[in-house]
Amino acid sequence: MRMTRIIPAIALSLLLAAPAFAHPKLKAADPAVDSTGPAPSTLSLSFSEKLTPGTATVTLEARRLVLE
C-alpha cells in the first residue's frame, strides 16, 4: 500500500521539476569560447532561447592580463 503512494509522488515531483532543467544554452560566441588573441572591441553571444532580463549574467574571465 505504501509503495502505491510513493511511486506517484516521485513521478509527480519529477514532472514538476522538469521546467527547472530548461535553461538557455550558449549556441555561439564571437570571439569563440576559450579563444586567445588581442582583446576584441565587441562580444557577441547567441543562446538557444530568449533570455529573461534580470535573470541572466555574463562573466568575462581574463586568465592573462598584459598591462603596457
Q: What is the pLDDT of residues 3-50, one digit of tens each?
A: 677 877 777 776 666 555 567 888 998 988 888 888 788 888 898 888
pLDDT of residue 67: 54
Q: Which residues pair with 30 in a beta bridge?
A: 44
Question: Residue 34 — left, alpha, or beta (φ > 0 → left; ψ -120 to 50 → alpha)?
Answer: left
Q: Which three cell numbers stand for residue 10?
A: 516521485
pLDDT of residue 35: 81
22/13 Cα distance (integer angstroms): 16
